[in-house]
Chain A
Amino acid sequence: MQAVQPSQGKFTIEFPALSAIKPERWLVGIHIILAMIAVVVGGLLGPFQTFRRAPTLTWEIPIFSYYYQALSLHGVLNGLVFTTFFIVGFSYFVTQRSLQRKLASIPLAWVATGMMTVGLLMAGWALLAGEANVLYTFYAPMIAHPLFYLGLTLVVVGSWLAGLNIFLTYIQWKREHVGQAVPLAVYATICNFVMWITCTLGVAVEILFFLLPLSLGWVATTDPQVTRILFWFMGHPLVYFWLIPAYTSWYAMMPKQNGVKIFSDNLGRLAFLMIMLFSIPIGVHHLFADPGVSELAKVMHSLLTFVVAIPSFLTIFNLAATLEQAGKKRGSSGRLGWIAKQQWDNPVMAAQLTGMMIFLVGGITGIMNASFNLNIALHNTSWIPGHFHTTLGGGVFLTYMGILYWLMPILRGRKLFSKEIALAQVYTWFIGIALFGMSMARAGLEGAPRRTDLGAAGVYISPAWGLYLNLAAIGGFILLVSLILLIVNLVGTLWFSKSEPNEPAPIDVAAPSDSLLIFERWGLWLIAIVVLNVVMWGPVLIQGLNFSAGFWSTGFQMR
Chain B
Amino acid sequence: MAQQPQPKLEIDKYERTYLILAVAMVGIFFAAILAGAFAFNVRPPDAAEFVNPLTLGQTEFTQLGLFDRGNNNYDLYSIAQMWQFNLGPGVPVEAGHQVLDIPLNARVTFHVASRDVNHGLFVQYHNINLQLVPGHVARQSVIFDRPGTFWVVCHEYCGRGHHNMGFMIRVGNA
Residues in chain B near residue A552, CB distance under 8 A = 52-54, 134-135
Q: Does A371 contact B (CB under 8 A)?
A: yes
Listed stretches B57-65, B67-75, B100-108, B114-122; interface member = B114-122
CB distance from B3 to the nearest CB of A (A): 6
Give the size category of A's interface with B.
35 or more
Q: Which residue of B lies closest to A379 (CB)?
A: B129
CB distance from A132 to the nearest CB of B (A): 13
Interface residues of B in 29-59 (CB under 8 A from A): 29-30, 33-34, 36-37, 42-48, 50, 52-54
Residues in chain B near residue A307, CB distance under 8 A = 26
Q: Does B90 contact A (CB under 8 A)?
A: no
Contacts known (A291-B136, A295-B44); A558 close to B11, Cβ less than 8 A: no
User: A556 to B83, alpha carbons, bound, how many Å?
Assistant: 13
Encode B140-174 as 1/0 by CB contact (under 8 A) with A: 00000000001101111101101110100000000
Q: Are A141 and B134 in contact (CB under 8 A)?
A: yes
Residues in chain B near residue A71, CB distance under 8 A = 157
Residues in chain A near residue B45, CB distance under 8 A = 289-291, 295
Q: Which residue of B lies closest to A460 (CB)?
A: B166
User: A556 to B26, alpha carbons, bound, how many Å?
Assistant: 43
Interface residues of B in 1-45 (CB under 8 A from A): 1, 3-4, 6-7, 9-12, 14-15, 18-19, 22-23, 26, 29-30, 33-34, 36-37, 42-45
Interface residues of A in 35-61 (CB under 8 A from B): none
How many residues on the B side are at the interface (Cβ–Cβ under 8 A)? 70
CB distance from B102 to the nearest CB of A (A): 17
Q: Are B127 and A376 in contact (CB under 8 A)?
A: yes
Listed stretches A14-22, A391-399, A445-453; interface member = A445-453
User: A139 to B119, alpha carbons, bound, how many Å?
Assistant: 11
Residues in chain A near residue B122, CB distance under 8 A = 376, 379-381, 447, 449
Contact of B1 among A139, A178, A447, A462 (CB under 8 A): A178
Contact of A267 among B11, B96, B135, B159 (CB under 8 A): B11
Count CB-based A-B contacts (< 8 Å): 209
Residues in chain A near residue B166, CB distance under 8 A = 460
22 examples of A-B residue contacts, CB within 8 angstroms: A142-B118, A179-B3, A225-B135, A228-B118, A287-B131, A291-B132, A291-B138, A292-B136, A294-B47, A295-B47, A313-B18, A313-B19, A377-B129, A379-B122, A379-B129, A379-B155, A452-B157, A452-B163, A460-B163, A514-B7, A552-B54, A556-B82
Report which A residues bind B (CB closer than 8 A): 67-68, 71, 135, 139, 141-142, 178-179, 223-225, 228, 263-264, 266-267, 287-295, 298-299, 302-303, 306-307, 309-310, 313-314, 317-318, 321, 367, 371-377, 379-381, 446-447, 449-454, 456, 458-460, 462, 513-517, 543, 546, 549, 552-554, 556, 558
Report which B residues bind A (CB closer than 8 A): 1, 3-4, 6-7, 9-12, 14-15, 18-19, 22-23, 26, 29-30, 33-34, 36-37, 42-48, 50, 52-54, 82, 96-97, 116-118, 120, 122-125, 127-139, 150-151, 153-157, 159-160, 162-164, 166
